[in-house]
Structure 1
Amino acid sequence: MTSSSTVLAMQIAAPGGPEALQATQLALGEPGPGQIRLRHHAIGLNYIDCYHRSGLYPLPLPAGIGMEGAGVVEAVGPGVEHLQVGDRAAYACTPPGAYCEARVMPAMSVVRLPEAIDFETGAAMMLKGLTVQYLLRRTLPAEGLVPGDFILWHAAAGGVGLIACQWARALGLQLIATAGSEAKCALALAHGASHAINYRSENFAARVREITGGQGVKVVYDSVGADTFEGSLDCLRPFGLMVSFGNASGPVPPVNTGVLAAKGSLYLTRPTLFAHLSSRERSQAMADDLFAQVLAGTVRIPVERRYPLREAAQAHRDLEARLTTGCSVLLP
């Protein structure tokens, strides 16, 4: 049991494997200007947490881990006007540090959570749902996307992917999903993918060409990284857009830009969610779009696994072993 002035947190003292996550007690102070204190009811689990823990994305040490959560506002610092004590709230934002019972944090990207959305769903949906929002709504090929267009989405049975399958269907897009097993392919199809490819048993680039009648797709959304990058370029039609937004299999190697020319004047981008959440107004607008999809039932957030906060290391093992589908949360 923690005292009122300290909270349980999972932190790293040095980069490493899941065992690097260690329980500690942190002092919990009062929020300063532009800050709030939030008591977590649930904490989201994301692959970026593994990047922070391993050192792929270095953090000042010792470091807290975790980018999203949901809970109740306990205190509000000077200058914060959009939140009040007692508000239900959710967030996906920097700096990391969500793996804790409560935290003092910047208020800019924290938004009120609608009463109809429970805390576990709120914690599981923010980073993944806002990622899909900025990808499908803001990260678009030069020729745009219209109903009927083909897009390719790797790792479509993960937390981000299953949201993307549903949202793409609502937009009238034909999402071609890739996943690593027949069961995961079936899951993507059940969530709205038009086609699914088991990349362990099929050449996904050849299959994409077959599905699209040789045309290719307008855009590839790829969070896998090294293992899929070259094949993804082969899936694009001329002037297509390659969106590399994650590195689950390792970083993409250096790119010879001449390859983009040879394959049809392709575009390449490496976006991040937090560049899109750089203002209060944009954060709110993106969250409103996501909440509307969830409240309408267009997008359902599948919370498949729940772990006690102290078992964060096991959650990381399961995530890196690709044993999870949908979303997972830590419970303080």
Structure 2
Amino acid sequence: MTTTLISHDDCGLHNMGPEHPESPIRLMAIHKVLEKTGLISHLDRMQSVHVTSDQIALAHACLHEKRLLMKQPKEGVIYADEDTALCPQSLHAASLAAGSAILATNRVLAGKSTNAFCAVRPPGHHAEHNTPMGFCFYNNVAIGAMQALQNDNIHRVAILDFDVHHCNGTVDIFKDKPEVLVCSTFQHPFYPERYADIQRDNILNCPMPAHSDSLFFRNLVEKNWLPALQAHKPDMIFISAGFDAHHEDPMADINLDEEDYRWVTKLILDVARTYSQGRVVSVLEGGYNPVALAFSVEAHLETLLGY
């Protein structure tokens, strides 16, 4: 299999301050581990590209980008909400993150890669149709999924989110689009406390109580995600790959480890081979212990490569 890794050093220019958990250190740790283990040499590496306004508008309100640009400071930091700050380079980084999802989607659809992983920040799955929140400005995976649906051969997609926080933004964007199946596991009750109880045939919320373990997570995915995916038969699969359900992550209380991420990635690839011609695009979301994040991403990438 050919796995493309898409990233850009400028994603590190988005900096919300030394105490903020969504830090440039996250990507630095990932790249350091991939280089130290030698895994980086087995990946098809590409630089991120910028998203266009038309591509942002596939998933967001027409004025969403302009409102963000009006908030971006020339110096210092301004908060879009209590968790989400903009510095002068924030939207430059956010544009590269969203553009990476477009690039990954187009590359996989063209058959140049079997699958792709976007090691980018800021993350995206909390960004709603018209609202930035939860460290997120543009919903990267939603923009990628909408790009895929512009292709004549793609009629149904699935977005699978194993971040510890619920993907409220992705649900908001796709809640009335039956061609997009959104499956998510997340700690509950917990941030963001939006859309966790929504009732839609294409939205599958799988809440986990605090301190849930590997067995609980795996059973939840097998019993819920698999039947939904078998019924939906997606032509392409997108992953919101958040690694903050790791037991060493400081932001939550779920007890997963690298082997759980390896397991769920293999399950997703098996489904993709059955229904989606193997087409998978994965985009980084959360993960706030840099060491746990880096080794979890390594396990995820090894599995995408077929190791």
TM-score w.r.t. length of structure 1? 0.38
> More relative contact order in 1 or in 2 (CA 8 Å, sep 6+)?
2
| TM-score normalised by the chain length of structure 2 | 0.41
The structure that has the greater radius of gyration is 1
Greater strand share, structure number: 1
